[in-house]
Structure 1
Protein backbone atom coordinates (compact mmCIF):
# COMPACT_ATOMS: atom_id res chain seq x y z
CA UNK A 1 0.00 0.00 0.00
CA UNK A 2 1.28 3.45 -0.80
CA UNK A 3 1.80 6.13 1.75
CA UNK A 4 -0.19 9.33 1.77
CA UNK A 5 0.89 12.27 -0.30
CA UNK A 6 2.96 14.59 1.85
CA UNK A 7 1.61 18.11 2.18
CA UNK A 8 3.18 20.68 -0.07
CA UNK A 9 4.15 18.16 -2.78
CA UNK A 10 2.19 18.25 -6.03
CA UNK A 11 0.39 15.09 -7.10
CA UNK A 12 2.38 14.89 -10.30
CA UNK A 13 5.79 14.84 -8.63
CA UNK A 14 4.59 12.46 -5.90
CA UNK A 15 3.19 9.99 -8.49
CA UNK A 16 6.29 10.29 -10.68
CA UNK A 17 8.46 9.49 -7.64
CA UNK A 18 6.41 6.39 -6.81
CA UNK A 19 6.63 5.14 -10.40
CA UNK A 20 10.39 5.75 -10.50
CA UNK A 21 10.93 3.89 -7.21
CA UNK A 22 8.77 0.94 -8.32
CA UNK A 23 10.70 0.77 -11.59
CA UNK A 24 13.99 0.73 -9.68
CA UNK A 25 12.70 -2.11 -7.50
CA UNK A 26 11.81 -4.05 -10.70
CA UNK A 27 8.08 -4.24 -10.03
CA UNK A 28 7.27 -3.55 -13.69
CA UNK A 29 9.58 -6.25 -15.08
CA UNK A 30 7.98 -9.25 -16.82
CA UNK A 31 4.45 -7.88 -16.85
CA UNK A 32 2.08 -9.73 -19.22
CA UNK A 33 1.72 -7.92 -22.52
CA UNK A 34 5.01 -6.05 -22.24
CA UNK A 35 6.02 -4.65 -25.61
CA UNK A 36 2.65 -5.36 -27.23
CA UNK A 37 0.20 -2.66 -28.32
CA UNK A 38 -2.73 -1.92 -26.07
CA UNK A 39 -5.86 -3.86 -27.04
CA UNK A 40 -8.35 -1.71 -28.88
CA UNK A 41 -5.73 0.87 -29.84
CA UNK A 42 -6.83 2.84 -32.90
CA UNK A 43 -10.50 1.86 -32.62
CA UNK A 44 -13.20 4.45 -31.94
CA UNK A 45 -14.15 4.93 -28.31
CA UNK A 46 -16.90 2.57 -27.14
CA UNK A 47 -18.59 3.27 -23.82
CA UNK A 48 -19.56 -0.39 -23.44
CA UNK A 49 -16.07 -1.77 -24.11
CA UNK A 50 -15.70 -3.37 -20.71
CA UNK A 51 -19.06 -5.19 -20.99
CA UNK A 52 -18.17 -6.50 -24.45
CA UNK A 53 -14.73 -7.56 -23.23
CA UNK A 54 -16.21 -9.40 -20.23
CA UNK A 55 -18.81 -11.15 -22.40
CA UNK A 56 -16.12 -12.22 -24.84
CA UNK A 57 -13.86 -13.47 -22.04
CA UNK A 58 -16.75 -15.44 -20.50
CA UNK A 59 -17.90 -16.66 -23.94
CA UNK A 60 -21.38 -15.19 -23.40
CA UNK A 61 -23.85 -13.78 -25.88
CA UNK A 62 -26.80 -11.51 -25.42
CA UNK A 63 -29.96 -12.70 -27.14
CA UNK A 64 -31.68 -10.21 -29.38
CA UNK A 65 -35.32 -9.33 -28.73
CA UNK A 66 -37.73 -11.45 -30.76
CA UNK A 67 -38.54 -8.90 -33.46
CA UNK A 68 -34.89 -8.04 -34.08
CA UNK A 69 -33.89 -11.70 -34.07
CA UNK A 70 -36.54 -12.38 -36.72
CA UNK A 71 -35.30 -9.50 -38.86
CA UNK A 72 -31.70 -10.73 -38.57
CA UNK A 73 -32.75 -14.28 -39.45
CA UNK A 74 -34.69 -12.99 -42.47
CA UNK A 75 -31.62 -11.10 -43.74
CA UNK A 76 -29.39 -14.14 -43.22
CA UNK A 77 -31.91 -16.42 -44.97
CA UNK A 78 -32.13 -14.08 -47.95
CA UNK A 79 -28.33 -14.07 -48.26
CA UNK A 80 -28.23 -17.86 -47.91
CA UNK A 81 -30.88 -18.24 -50.61
CA UNK A 82 -28.95 -16.04 -53.03
CA UNK A 83 -25.84 -18.16 -52.37
CA UNK A 84 -27.71 -21.49 -52.64
CA UNK A 85 -26.51 -24.09 -55.12
CA UNK A 86 -29.82 -24.78 -56.76
CA UNK A 87 -33.02 -22.88 -57.38
CA UNK A 88 -34.97 -25.50 -55.42
CA UNK A 89 -32.71 -25.00 -52.39
CA UNK A 90 -33.18 -21.22 -52.62
CA UNK A 91 -36.97 -21.68 -52.77
CA UNK A 92 -36.87 -23.97 -49.72
CA UNK A 93 -34.83 -21.46 -47.67
CA UNK A 94 -37.17 -18.59 -48.49
CA UNK A 95 -40.22 -20.78 -47.88
CA UNK A 96 -38.95 -21.73 -44.41
CA UNK A 97 -38.30 -18.14 -43.32
CA UNK A 98 -41.62 -16.97 -44.77
CA UNK A 99 -43.34 -19.64 -42.65
CA UNK A 100 -41.61 -18.29 -39.54
CA UNK A 101 -42.60 -14.74 -40.46
CA UNK A 102 -46.25 -15.81 -40.92
CA UNK A 103 -46.14 -17.48 -37.48
CA UNK A 104 -44.81 -14.27 -35.92
CA UNK A 105 -47.83 -12.31 -37.16
CA UNK A 106 -50.06 -14.09 -34.66
CA UNK A 107 -47.61 -13.83 -31.74
CA UNK A 108 -46.50 -11.01 -29.52
CA UNK A 109 -42.73 -10.84 -29.83
CA UNK A 110 -40.43 -8.97 -27.47
CA UNK A 111 -38.60 -5.92 -28.68
CA UNK A 112 -39.55 -2.88 -30.68
CA UNK A 113 -42.75 -3.10 -32.72
CA UNK A 114 -41.88 -4.52 -36.09
CA UNK A 115 -43.83 -6.22 -38.81
CA UNK A 116 -41.38 -8.19 -40.91
CA UNK A 117 -42.64 -8.36 -44.49
CA UNK A 118 -42.58 -11.68 -46.30
CA UNK A 119 -39.62 -12.18 -48.59
CA UNK A 120 -40.52 -12.11 -52.28
CA UNK A 121 -39.39 -15.46 -53.67
CA UNK A 122 -39.26 -14.26 -57.27
CA UNK A 123 -37.11 -11.25 -56.34
CA UNK A 124 -34.62 -13.49 -54.52
CA UNK A 125 -34.57 -15.95 -57.42
CA UNK A 126 -33.91 -13.07 -59.83
CA UNK A 127 -30.85 -12.18 -57.72
CA UNK A 128 -29.91 -15.85 -57.59
CA UNK A 129 -30.06 -16.10 -61.40
CA UNK A 130 -27.98 -12.94 -61.95
CA UNK A 131 -25.18 -14.38 -59.84
CA UNK A 132 -24.96 -17.52 -61.90
CA UNK A 133 -23.56 -17.60 -65.40
CA UNK A 134 -25.89 -19.00 -68.00
CA UNK A 135 -24.76 -22.48 -68.85
CA UNK A 136 -24.76 -22.92 -72.57
CA UNK A 137 -25.36 -26.41 -73.84
CA UNK A 138 -22.52 -27.57 -76.04
CA UNK A 139 -23.47 -27.45 -79.69
CA UNK A 140 -23.69 -30.87 -81.28
CA UNK A 141 -21.59 -31.59 -84.27
CA UNK A 142 -23.83 -32.13 -87.29
CA UNK A 143 -24.19 -35.78 -88.19
CA UNK A 144 -23.06 -36.76 -91.66
CA UNK A 145 -25.95 -37.39 -94.02
CA UNK A 146 -26.85 -41.03 -94.37
CA UNK A 147 -26.78 -42.65 -97.69
CA UNK A 148 -30.32 -43.22 -98.77
CA UNK A 149 -30.97 -46.51 -100.41
CA UNK A 150 -34.26 -47.80 -101.46
CA UNK A 151 -35.77 -50.78 -99.83
CA UNK A 152 -35.14 -52.99 -102.81
CA UNK A 153 -31.46 -52.09 -103.06
CA UNK A 154 -30.92 -52.84 -99.38
CA UNK A 155 -32.61 -56.16 -99.92
CA UNK A 156 -30.52 -57.08 -102.99
CA UNK A 157 -27.15 -56.01 -101.59
CA UNK A 158 -27.90 -57.76 -98.39
Structure 2
Protein backbone atom coordinates (compact mmCIF):
# COMPACT_ATOMS: atom_id res chain seq x y z
CA UNK A 1 0.00 0.00 0.00
CA UNK A 2 2.86 2.38 0.78
CA UNK A 3 4.58 1.60 -2.51
CA UNK A 4 1.36 2.21 -4.43
CA UNK A 5 0.73 5.50 -2.56
CA UNK A 6 4.31 6.59 -3.31
CA UNK A 7 3.86 5.79 -7.01
CA UNK A 8 0.63 7.79 -7.07
CA UNK A 9 2.49 10.74 -5.50
CA UNK A 10 0.35 10.79 -2.34
CA UNK A 11 3.39 11.76 -0.24
CA UNK A 12 4.84 14.40 -2.57
CA UNK A 13 3.33 17.49 -0.89
CA UNK A 14 3.94 16.60 2.76
CA UNK A 15 5.52 19.30 4.94
CA UNK A 16 9.18 18.67 5.66
CA UNK A 17 9.71 16.57 2.55
CA UNK A 18 13.42 15.84 2.18
CA UNK A 19 14.30 17.31 5.56
CA UNK A 20 15.54 15.34 8.57
CA UNK A 21 13.04 14.60 11.31
CA UNK A 22 13.25 16.71 14.45
CA UNK A 23 13.70 14.08 17.15
CA UNK A 24 14.65 16.47 19.94
CA UNK A 25 12.78 15.93 23.16
CA UNK A 26 11.45 12.49 22.32
CA UNK A 27 12.54 11.29 25.76
CA UNK A 28 9.69 13.45 27.13
CA UNK A 29 6.41 11.49 27.00
CA UNK A 30 4.48 14.73 26.38
CA UNK A 31 6.70 15.98 23.55
CA UNK A 32 3.90 15.86 21.00
CA UNK A 33 1.52 17.91 23.18
CA UNK A 34 4.19 20.53 23.89
CA UNK A 35 5.07 20.74 20.20
CA UNK A 36 1.40 21.17 19.28
CA UNK A 37 1.02 23.94 21.86
CA UNK A 38 4.01 25.78 20.35
CA UNK A 39 2.90 25.26 16.75
CA UNK A 40 -0.70 26.32 17.36
CA UNK A 41 0.35 29.13 19.75
CA UNK A 42 -2.09 27.82 22.36
CA UNK A 43 -2.33 29.07 25.94
CA UNK A 44 -0.56 26.38 27.96
CA UNK A 45 -1.80 27.75 31.29
CA UNK A 46 -4.98 25.70 30.86
CA UNK A 47 -2.82 22.63 31.54
CA UNK A 48 -1.96 23.85 35.04
CA UNK A 49 -3.82 22.56 38.09
CA UNK A 50 -6.77 24.83 38.99
CA UNK A 51 -5.04 26.36 42.03
CA UNK A 52 -2.02 27.38 39.96
CA UNK A 53 -4.32 28.82 37.28
CA UNK A 54 -5.92 30.98 39.97
CA UNK A 55 -2.53 32.13 41.25
CA UNK A 56 -1.46 33.04 37.73
CA UNK A 57 -4.70 34.96 37.19
CA UNK A 58 -4.20 36.81 40.49
CA UNK A 59 -0.67 37.80 39.52
CA UNK A 60 -2.01 39.41 36.32
CA UNK A 61 -4.33 41.80 38.21
CA UNK A 62 -4.88 44.74 37.68
CA UNK A 63 -3.03 44.87 34.34
CA UNK A 64 -5.32 42.22 32.84
CA UNK A 65 -8.29 44.50 33.62
CA UNK A 66 -6.83 47.60 31.96
CA UNK A 67 -9.09 47.35 28.88
CA UNK A 68 -12.31 47.29 30.90
CA UNK A 69 -13.80 50.76 31.28
CA UNK A 70 -16.73 49.94 33.59
CA UNK A 71 -15.88 49.83 37.30
CA UNK A 72 -18.86 47.61 38.12
CA UNK A 73 -17.67 45.08 35.53
CA UNK A 74 -14.20 45.06 37.12
CA UNK A 75 -15.75 44.61 40.57
CA UNK A 76 -17.80 41.68 39.25
CA UNK A 77 -14.68 40.03 37.81
CA UNK A 78 -12.75 40.48 41.06
CA UNK A 79 -15.61 39.17 43.19
CA UNK A 80 -15.96 36.18 40.86
CA UNK A 81 -12.24 35.52 41.26
CA UNK A 82 -12.58 35.49 45.05
CA UNK A 83 -15.59 33.15 44.75
CA UNK A 84 -13.56 30.73 42.61
CA UNK A 85 -10.65 30.86 45.09
CA UNK A 86 -12.97 30.00 47.98
CA UNK A 87 -14.53 27.23 45.89
CA UNK A 88 -11.06 25.87 45.07
CA UNK A 89 -10.21 25.68 48.77
CA UNK A 90 -13.24 23.46 49.35
CA UNK A 91 -12.22 21.03 46.62
CA UNK A 92 -10.73 17.78 47.93
CA UNK A 93 -7.03 17.55 47.18
CA UNK A 94 -4.41 14.87 47.40
CA UNK A 95 -0.69 14.71 46.85
CA UNK A 96 1.80 17.56 46.54
CA UNK A 97 -0.80 19.98 45.16
CA UNK A 98 -2.62 19.92 48.50
CA UNK A 99 -0.09 22.39 49.97
CA UNK A 100 -0.56 25.00 47.24
CA UNK A 101 -3.28 27.58 47.82
CA UNK A 102 -4.48 30.64 45.98
CA UNK A 103 -5.19 33.77 48.00
CA UNK A 104 -8.22 35.97 47.62
CA UNK A 105 -7.76 39.63 46.78
CA UNK A 106 -8.92 42.81 48.47
CA UNK A 107 -11.48 44.04 45.93
CA UNK A 108 -11.35 47.66 47.15
CA UNK A 109 -7.56 47.79 46.97
CA UNK A 110 -7.50 46.19 43.53
CA UNK A 111 -10.14 48.64 42.27
CA UNK A 112 -7.96 51.52 43.49
CA UNK A 113 -4.96 50.05 41.64
CA UNK A 114 -7.14 49.60 38.52
CA UNK A 115 -8.24 53.27 38.72
CA UNK A 116 -4.60 54.39 39.00
CA UNK A 117 -3.64 52.18 36.08
CA UNK A 118 -6.39 53.67 33.90
CA UNK A 119 -5.23 57.17 34.78
RMSD of aligned alpha carbons: 4.0
Aligned to 1:125: 111
Unpaired runs of at least 5, structure 1: 1-31, 35-45, 134-158
**Which structure features the higher share of helix residues?**
2
Runs of 4 or more consecutive aligned structure 1 residues displaced over 4 Å after TM superposition: 46-51
Aligned to 1:87: 71
For CA contacts below 8 A with separation 6 or more, give which structure has more relative contact order: 2
Q: SS of the counterpart of 1:131?
A: helix
Give the greater-gyration-radius structure (CA).
1
Map 1:98-109; keep pairs closer than 5 Å.
98-109=82-93
Map 1:3-42; keep pairs closer than 5 Å.
none
Q: CA deviation at 1:92?
A: 0.8
1:29-85, Cα deviation, whole Å (9 max, x unpaired)? xxx999xxxxxxxxxxx888765224536x7x6721222122223345643334421
With the length of structure 1 as denominator, give the TM-score of the two structures.
0.43
